Structure 1
Amino acid sequence: MPEGAFRFGTDPWDPTHRFETSWLVSPWVLFACRALISLYAFTTLVFVLAWQCAHGETGCTASQNQFSYFTTLTYWGLAFYFLAAAVHTFTYARSGTALLNRLPRPLQALHSAFYTTAVVFPFVVTVVYWARLYSGTWYAEVYSGWSNVSQHALNSVFAFFELAVPRTNPPPPVHMLWLIVVLALYLALAYVTNASKGFYPYDFLNPSKQGALVAAYVFGIAVGCIVVFGFAWGVIWLRKYVTETKLGRKGKFSSRGGASAAAGDGGADMESAKPREETLA
């Protein structure tokens, strides 16, 4: 186990409100964007379930089976992440103190890990789905085209929004461990699905068809997840460097009292008329 895998840290939690602010838009606009993305994602998920119930040959069986697919589960996770992020951004914009900052430290650490999953798993899903899983003519069918683009293309657009627009820091390397743990738990779910429902969510997990290639697929996806983590980390680092160091865009903050911001976490000069705040430990 990497050192610190189960530690929540003792330094001040996000004193410059990076999870709730942006270098580009105000907290109110960031809240609106996150809320709209969450609403769209939940609408998509509920509509897909209802459509499959109404048009499936076996009633709602296909809808029930959706919860065995990693692609669907990650989209649910994305919808809930944006809902939580919208709530925290709203409370910060309204009062100057985010709900997230008032939660127990373990929940704050879990939100940070939740953010990491939201900016990593969607890219993994998009690549694996279009490169390995998809076959068909989605562009010829309105429902199929819309559902596939919404869940397997827009998911990465939403994730990139979180990489590019908020002021978040690069995720800690220890999060790579927990991404692999989540993938391992899903692998267990896939085999539980086969034992309880009689099918594998993905054919490349079926040992009777793939043989030893199952291990290669699992290892390849795990490595791909680490590569995507590196990509996400790099994009966030580059965004911070360009917007804060080169362009001097330290962020847009709540006008409601309290310490609003520091110019980055290193204690550089702040925007004029903004109070100073302690730096991150």
Structure 2
Amino acid sequence: MAGRWQREVKGILALVLAGFIVFALAIFNPSLRPADQASPVGPLGVWLAWAVFWAFGYSGYLVPLALAFYGISAFLPRRPAVGWPALAGFACLLVSFTGLLARASTALIHKGGVFGWGVLELLRRSVGEVGALLLLLAAVPIGVLFLTQEPYASLLRAMGRRKAALKAESPQAELPLVTSPAVVEAGAPIETAPPPPPIVVEPARPKSRLAERGLAWQETFDFGKGGRPAFQLPPIGLLRAPPASELRQTREELQANADILRKKLQDFGVEGRIVQVNP
């Protein structure tokens, strides 16, 4: 933890210095002498901007960019490794940009600074104009490889996977609904009534002779039409137990009764099955 807070202190100082240099370069006028310029960054900012611009030209903005990267990396959970590959990548980019800007400049020392002028003259005297241009252009992807330490093939594969994932996540275009003219003319659909529930008809039970005699007596009973003298008691035979032959039920009748009971239970959500019926 002791090294962590020290690293964050260095990161804050690097960010402050990067912002100071960027502001000084942005308001610096290269056509005037440093002593003739009044700047919000003071004389130190003016002379610092003059030194950076004189050395690297417009490529001097890479210096605060590198300082900002160093400052931000101090606050990351996993700090990128800053070693010779990062320094080599920064050097390649600085050489490439200063040389290309010096090549595009008409003045002797202006856009690319003294460093860019020296790089361009060295390459022109060694590999010629075309070779200098090719080397300066090739230094850009080489510097990026040194900084990222990742091959371009893996970068292209990652971009392809990302593109495929975005294509798979994008919602498919919905097809327009085509309505037939008959449906349009008919207007709103007519709601059909649900079918009626099935009607369960219980089979008629055979009536015993005793019950038939009782019903016949009830149909002919005198309910006081003849007065009190005409009152008669019901026949005593209705109180007698029916004979054993009438109490017996066949296996078919019991099976029918069991089926009716099972269906009634199913109406209430009770599932059952008939195991055995005995008369």
**TM-score under structure 2 length normalisation:** 0.28
State the structure with bigger RCO (CA 8 A, min sep 6), 1 or 2: 1
Q: Which structure is larger by alpha-carbon Rg, 1 or 2?
A: 2
